[in-house]
Structure 1
Amino acid sequence: MKAEQLPLLKSVSSPAAHPDGTRAVVSVTRPDFDADAYVGQLWSVAFDRAFPPRRITRGFRDTAPAFSPDGKVLAFLRATLDGKSQLHIVEADGGEPQAITERKLGVSEFSWAPDSSRIVFSSRVPEEGRYGTVEGVGAGGEDPRLITDNQYRLNGLGYTADKPAQLFVVDVPEPGAEPPVAPVGRAAKGRGTEAPSLLPAAVQLTFGDADHTSPSFSRSGGSVYFVASLHQGHDADIASGIYRVPAAGGEPEAVRPDTAPQAVHEVRESIDGEWLFFTAQDLGEDGLDFVARNTALYVIPARGGKAAMLSDVEGQDISGPLEPFGADGVLGLNTNRGSVELIKWAADGGSAVLLKGPRVAGGASAVRDVVAVSVSDASSNGELGVLEQGELRLLTDFSGALRAEAKILSPQEFTATGNDGYPVHGWAVLPEGQGPHPVLLTIHGGPFAQYTAAFFDEAQVYAEAGYAVLMCNPRGSAGYGQAHGGAIKEKMGTVDMADVLAFLDGALQAFPAMDRESTGIMGGSYGGYLTAWVIGHEHRFKAAIVERGFLDPVSFAGSSDIGWFFGGQYTGGSPDQMAAQSPMAVVTEVRTPTLVIHSENDLRCPVEQGQRYFAALKAQGVETALLLFPGEDHELSRSGTPHHRRQRFEQILAWWAKYLPSAANPSRESGPVRS
C-alpha cells in the first residue's frame, strides 16, 4: 500500500440488523482527498447473498444506523463538511431522510425507545456566549475561562466544562407524513421575528455539569439509563456510575449508589427487562488506579440487587458496543492476544465465544439467532458477515478495491523469548523479495493497548517501501492479562524495553531476509516514550522517529488533559520516580538521528513535549528535525485529515530514505520536506 491509496481504506461500522432478520445496515466511510475529510454513506446488506449490498443514503457522512424496534424506521447521524452530526430518520424501506435535530454542537449518540415512538440522544450544550451562541463573537472574542477543576478539557474536544453532554428525548415523527412548512406572509404575521422550527421539540432530561453518556431506555420505556460522574468529589477521581432518570423528566438516581470506585463505560437492559448489563473497570480506593485494569462485564437485577461479574477480569478485557441477545443475554467484545473476539453471555453466567481467531470484531447486532458482525482481518479493513453454525460467512467485499489496487502483505506471527525467559508475542510484515531488508521496530501507544493481526495501514505502507516491519505487544500491553499489563507500573522503560529489544533480536535471528545491520525504531504516544527511552540507552539504530510522545512526566502533569493523574499512576508521583523513568532525563545520552513529530492541537501529549525534546537534541548536536501539523490532535495518524495523513507518511519515508534507505525507498538529497 502507498500513502496516496488512503482513500481505499473503507471502514465498516457496527451493524444494525433489521428486526425481520433478513438484512443489516452499516455505515461505510473512507478518507477523501478532494474533501480533505471522511465521507461515507449507509449500505443495506441482505443476509441472502443473492441480493448484493446497496448504498441507501447519499449524505456527506452518514453513520451510526439503528432500526426502530418495530422495523419501520431507520435512524442515523448525518454530518456535513463542518463536522456536526444531526439525527435523521428515513423509512426502513427507503425514502428521503429527514432531520429531527438541529443542535448547535451536533448529536453524538442515540438510542430508540422500545415502543419506537421516541429517541434519546446525547448532545453538548454550549455555555451562553461561547461556540457561536452569540453572533459576531468568535473563539478569540469569548470571555476568559476561570478554571478551578482538574477535568476541564479533552483531546479532540477542547474545553468541556463549558459544554457538557446532556441527554434529550425527542418524539419521532411519522416518516410518511406530510412535511411541515414555514408560515409566510399573512400566516407569519404576529408570530414574532424568530423563524419557527420545523423540527420536533426535544425535551432535555439532564442538567448537571458532568457529561452524560451511553443513554438507553429501560424495556418499559419509562426510564433512561446513562453513565455519568455525578458523585461527590468527582473532580478528584476518574470514576463514573450508572444513573436512571424518568423518560418524561425528573431527578436522576444512582442505580448503585454505594459501589466502590469504578469507571463504567456502557449500560444496557436485557430484552426481557429483568437484567441490567454494564461494563466497568475497578479503580482502587482512590478512584485513580486505572493502570492495566481490564474492563469487566457485570449483570445486576433491573429491580435492584447485587452485581455479579460475568467475565474473567484477569484474562478478559471487555468492550462495547453491548448488544442484547436472546431474552436475558448480551454480546460483547474481548481483547485477546492480538485479536478482538465476540462473546455471548447469559445473565446466569454462561458464556460462549462466537467469533475468534486472527481478526478484529468491531460490533454485532442480533435478531433471534441471527448475528451480524463487522470484522477486519489481515486482508481487509472492514467487512460485514453473519455467524452460521459457528462459522463466519462474509457478505461484503468493501476492501475489494484495496486488494486489487494495493499490495497487501500478510503479517507473520512470531514469538520471541526474552533474556528472562518471558515470551514476547507479535508479528513481522516482510516486503517481497529475498532481501536483505532494512528493519523498522515499531512500538504501539497506550501502553495498555495492542497490535493485532488485522490490516494496519502503517505496516503496509512501510513494507511497500521496502522495510521489514516488526510489531509486538511487550509487557505493559493489553490482551495478555492484567499481570502482563501491570508489569511496568512504576517501572516504565524496564521490562518493556527489554521485551521490544528481545523481539527485535529474535526476529533478526528467525528471518534471514532482515538486515541486522540496518535497523530503525519508531513509535507514537507511549510508543514515542519507549522509542525516546530506548535511544537514550541503546545506540544500535540508524535513526528513530518519536511521535506525539509522553516525554517528560513532570511537565506532562501540568499540560496534558489527563496529566493530573496519568503520569503519576504509571511512573509514581515523586520527583525521583519521574526522573528515573523520563526520556528527558536521558536525552543527553541520545546519539541517534531523530525525527520528532507532533500535532499543534494535541492535548493528550501536548506539543511542548515534542518541542522541548527536539530543542534538547538540537542543543547537543544530534541530527534532528521537528515536524509539526497544524489543526491536528493526538489522533493524527488514525483520524487526522486525509491530506495530513498522506503528508505524514511522505515525511516519514523521506526520513527513512535519508538514514535507512531501502531498494524501494532510496536515499534522497535531504530528509523531510521543508514547508
Structure 2
Amino acid sequence: MGPTDIQKLLGVGRPALSSRGEFAVFSVSRPDLPANRTVGQLWRIDLPEGAPRRLTRGILDTAPVLSPDDMRLAFLRPDARGRSQVFVVAALGGEPVQATDAPLGVGEVVWTGDGRSLVYTARVPENGRYGTVEGLDAAAEAPRRITGIRWNANGLGYLADRPAQIFVIAAPEIDSEPFYEPAPVVRDDAEAPSRTVIGATPRALTEGDLSWSTLAVSGEEVLAVPDRIEDDRRDLRTPIIAHHLDGSGRREVLATAANLWVTGLAVADDGAVAALAAHVGSAGTDFVAPGTALHVIAEGETRALTDPETIDLGEVGSHITPIGDDFLVQDRRRGRVRLLRVARDGSAETVIGGDREVLGHAASGSVVVAAVATPDSFGELVLAGPGEPRVLTAFGAAAAATGIVEPRELTVRGRDDYPVHGWVARPRGDGPFPVILQIHGGPYASYGIHLFDETQVLIDAGYAVVYCNPRGSAGYGRAHGRAIRQAMGTLDHHDVIDFLDGALESEPALDPSRLGIMGGSYGGYLTAWIIAHDHRFRGAIVERGFLEPTSFQGTSDIGSFFGDEYVGVDPELIAAQSPMAVVGQVRTPTLVMHAEADHRCPLEQATRYYSALTRAGVPSEMLIFPGENHELTRSGQPRHRVERFDAVTRWWARHLPIDATDRTGPETSGSDASRSGATEAEGADDLDDPKDHQ
C-alpha cells in the first residue's frame, strides 16, 4: 500500500448489542485526505443474517450506546465548533436530536437504568478561559497558577483549569419539534429571543478540582473514578466512588488503600462491580508492566479473578462486558488479542482466538459480537459461536486490493538463549532487499498481526522490514515486561539486534550490507541508543523519542513518574541509560521527527538531540509537524500522515537506495494475505499517560 492508501484503513469501534441480541450498532471510521480529518458514521446490522447498513451520516459519529429498551441510540458527534456532543437517534435510523451543549465537549456517556436520562462527563472551563468570554483571545487570558505536579496532558493541554465533571440530563424525545434559529428583532422594545440548542438543562453531580471518568450505572447510582492532581508526588492509586443520581450523596466502593489503579468498570446484573485494575505498590507508582487483572467487588470484598502473570488485560482498548454471571475481557498474547469469558470462580475459556486482535466486544444472552483486526483486514465485526467466528462485514476489501504483504513469523534465540518473537516482511521477488529494523513504542506495548501501515508502505517502497517484541514488551508475561526496569538499553537492545541477525541469517533475500533502523516514542529511544553503539546502519529515523530522561521529568505530562520507574532516580544510573549521554558516539545519518504539540515526549527532547548530532558533525535533519501531538502517526491530520510517509521514504531513498535488481519478480506490493501492526495504540504505549486509558 502507498501513503495515500491510509484512506482505505477502515476501523471498527466497540459495538453496542441489543438486549435480546437481535441487532448490533458500531462505528466505522477512516482518515480522509480531502477533508484532512478522520471521518466516520454508525452502522447497524440485524443478526444473525442481516447485511450491514449505514445508520447515520455525520462527519464523525462514534461511541454508540443503546437505551435499555433498545429503541434509541446515544452517540457522540462533533457540533459546529468541533466539540463532541451527545446526540440521540432512533435505533432504526432517522434524524438525530442533539442532547448536550457542553462548552468543551463530552467525554463519555451512559444511559440510566430507566432510559429517561443520560449521564455523561464533560470538562468545565474556568471562567475567562477557552472561549467563555467572547472576544478574549487565548493569549490574553490571565496567567495560570500551577501548584500541583501535573499541569498538562498529551492531546488535551492544561488540566487544572478544566476538570471533567459528571452531569445528568433528560434524554430528548426523538420525535420532538426541532429548534429554529431566531430571527433578528427589529423593534427596540422587543425582547430578543434566545437561541435554543438542546431541550433540557443538565444537572451537575460533581464539582470542584477533581476530574471523573470511567462511568458505569448501577441502579440509582453512577460509579466513576476520580483523578486528583497531586501536590508533591505522583499517586496512581484510584478509588471508585458511587454517586446517587438524584445528587443526594455518594459512597466509596473501593478505597485507595487497596493500592489499585482502576482502568475499567462494569456492573453485573446482580450488582457486582467488576474492575480492570493493577496493583501499583505501596508507593502508588509501580506501573512498569502493570499486572492488570479482572477484579470483582461485592459485599465489601475485592477479589481478583485472573492472574496477571498469565493473562494480560492491559490497554489495547480493554474493557469489560458482563454476560450472565461471567465477564468478557481481552487478553493480549504474542501479537494476538483474544476474547476470554471469565467465571466468578476464576476459570476462563476462549470465546474468540486465533490470528485476531479483538478491539471491542458486546454480549447479550448467548450472543457475542466483537470488532476485530485480522491478518487480512484492519477492522471487521464478527459474531462468535461454535468454531470459527462468523465475519459479518467486509471493510478490509479496499485495503486488501492495494496489495498487502504477508509477514513471516519468526522466533530467534538471543545471545543468552532467550527466545525473541517477531516477524519479517519483504517485497515479492528474489531480492536481495535493503532492510529496515522497526522498533515499537511503549516499552510495554507490542507489535501484532493486524495491518500496520508503517510496515506496508515501506514494503511497497521496496524495503524488507524486520520487527519484534523484545524484553520490555507486552504479551509475554510480566517478567518479560519488567526485565528492563531501570535497565533500559540492555536486554531490549540485545533482543532487537539478535532478532535482526537471526532474520538476516534465516532469509537469503535480505541484504545484510544495507540496513536502516527506525522507531517512535520508546522505539525512538532504542533507535537513538542503538546507533550510538552499533554503526552498521546506513541511516536512522528517531521519532517522538524519549531521549533525555533528566529533562523529561520536568517537561512530559508523565514525567513525574515514568522516568523514575523506568530509569531510576540515581544520576549515574540515569546517565547509563540516556541516549543524550552517548549521542557523541553516533555516526549514523539521522532524521529526527517530532510533533510540535507533543506533551508526552516534548519537542525539547528532539531539538536537544538534533542539536547534539549537528554539533558533532553527524549528517542530520529535523522535521517538525505543527499542530500535532504524540499520536501523529495514529490519529494525526491525514495530510500530515501522508507528508510524514513521503519524508520517510525520501530519507530511505537517499540513505538506503533501492537497486534495480531489488525489483525483480512480481509487483513489490505483493500478496493479498496479511499485514502487521503495533498494538501500542499503537493505543497502548506506556509513554501514553495511564490515565488516558481509563
**TM-score above 0.5, yes or no:** yes
CA drift at 1:312: 1.2
1:61 maps to 60
Report if the CA contact (8 A) 1:242-1:267 is conserved.
no
Structure 1 CA distance, aligned partners of 2:239 and 2:190? 48
The yes-or-no answer on 1:266 pairing with 2:260 is: no
The yes-or-no answer on 1:445 pairing with 2:452 is: no
Structure 2 CA distance, aligned partners of 1:203 and 1:128? 18
Structure 2 CA distance, aligned partners of 1:497 and 1:42? 44
The aligned runs of 1:228-377 (5 Å cut-off) are: 228-229=226-227, 236-257=234-255, 259-273=257-271, 275-301=272-298, 304-319=299-314, 321-377=318-374
Structure 1 CA distance, aligned partners of 2:45 and 2:508? 45
1:498 maps to 494
Cα distance change, pair 336–157 in 1 and its aligned pair in 2 (3 A) = same
1:148 maps to 147
Structure 1 CA distance, aligned partners of 2:545 and 2:308? 30
Cα distance change, pair 665–227 in 1 and its aligned pair in 2 (3 A) = farther
Correspondent of 1:382 among 376, 379, 383:
379
Per the normalisation by structure 2, the TM-score is 0.92
Report if the CA contact (8 A) 2:16-2:362 is conserved.
yes
CA drift at 1:253: 2.5
Structure 2 CA distance, aligned partners of 1:224 and 1:231? 22
The yes-or-no answer on 1:524 pairing with 2:511 is: no
1:465 maps to 461
Q: Between Structure 1 and Structure 2, how many residues are aligned?
A: 660
Q: Which moved more, 1:484-493 or 1:199-208?
A: 199-208
Structure 2 CA distance, aligned partners of 1:11 and 1:248? 38
Q: Which moved more, 1:244-253 or 1:115-124?
A: 244-253
Structure 2 CA distance, aligned partners of 1:383 and 1:567? 38
The yes-or-no answer on 1:583 pairing with 2:579 is: yes
Structure 1 CA distance, aligned partners of 2:253 and 2:229? 12
CA drift at 1:180: 5.3
Per the normalisation by structure 1, the TM-score is 0.94
Q: Which amino acid aligns with 2:259?
A: P
Cα distance change, pair 639–664 in 1 and its aligned pair in 2 (3 A) = farther
CA drift at 1:206: 1.1
Structure 1 CA distance, aligned partners of 2:124 and 2:329? 31
Cα distance change, pair 664–170 in 1 and its aligned pair in 2 (3 A) = farther
Structure 1 CA distance, aligned partners of 2:182 and 2:631? 45
* Deviation digits for residues 475-526 of structure 1 (CA, Å, limit 9, x no counterpart): 0001111100000011000000000000000000111110011111100010
Higher relative contact order (CA 8 A, sep 6+): 2
Correspondent of 1:507 among 503, 508, 516:
503
Structure 1 CA distance, aligned partners of 2:33 and 2:180? 37
Cα distance change, pair 91–611 in 1 and its aligned pair in 2 (3 A) = same
1:6 maps to 6
CA drift at 1:12: 0.6
Structure 2 CA distance, aligned partners of 1:282 and 1:354? 27
Report if the CA contact (8 A) 2:409-2:424 is conserved.
yes
Cα distance change, pair 290–14 in 1 and its aligned pair in 2 (3 A) = same
Structure 1 CA distance, aligned partners of 2:324 and 2:192? 52
Unaligned runs of 5+ in 2: 664-694
Query: 3-state SS of the aligned residue for 1:491?
Result: coil
Report sequence identity in percent: 47
Report if the CA contact (8 A) 1:333-1:340 is conserved.
yes
Structure 1 CA distance, aligned partners of 2:248 and 2:150? 26
Q: Which amino acid aligns with 2:53?
A: R
Q: Which amino acid aligns with 2:399?
A: L
Structure 2 CA distance, aligned partners of 1:521 and 1:536? 12
Structure 2 CA distance, aligned partners of 1:24 and 1:235? 45
Report if the CA contact (8 A) 1:341-1:360 is conserved.
yes
2:679 maps to none
* Deviation digits for residues 111-147 of structure 1 (CA, Å, limit 9, x no counterpart): 1112211111111111111100101112111111111
Report if the CA contact (8 A) 1:106-1:124 is conserved.
yes
* Deviation digits for residues 558-602 of structure 1 (CA, Å, limit 9, x no counterpart): 111111211111001111111010000000000101100011111
CA drift at 1:177: 3.3
Query: 3-state SS of the aligned residue for 1:610?
Result: helix
2:409 maps to 413
Structure 2 CA distance, aligned partners of 1:183 and 1:473? 60
Q: Which amino acid aligns with 1:357?
A: G
2:398 maps to 401
CA drift at 1:311: 1.1
* Deviation digits for residues 589-640 of structure 1 (CA, Å, limit 9, x no counterpart): 0010110001111111111111111111101111110011111111111111
Structure 2 CA distance, aligned partners of 1:32 and 1:81? 19
Unaligned runs of 5+ in 1: 668-675
2:607 maps to 611
CA drift at 1:183: 7.7
* Deviation digits for residues 91-111 of structure 1 (CA, Å, limit 9, x no counterpart): 112221010001111111111
CA drift at 1:228: 1.2
Structure 2 CA distance, aligned partners of 1:629 and 1:555? 21
Report if the CA contact (8 A) 1:427-1:453 is conserved.
no
CA drift at 1:272: 2.6
The yes-or-no answer on 1:568 pairing with 2:568 is: no
CA drift at 1:190: 8.1
Cα distance change, pair 532–623 in 1 and its aligned pair in 2 (3 A) = same
CA drift at 1:539: 0.4
Report if the CA contact (8 A) 2:20-2:365 is conserved.
no
Report if the CA contact (8 A) 1:212-1:228 is conserved.
yes
CA drift at 1:245: 0.6
Structure 1 CA distance, aligned partners of 2:89 and 2:80? 21
CA drift at 1:356: 1.5
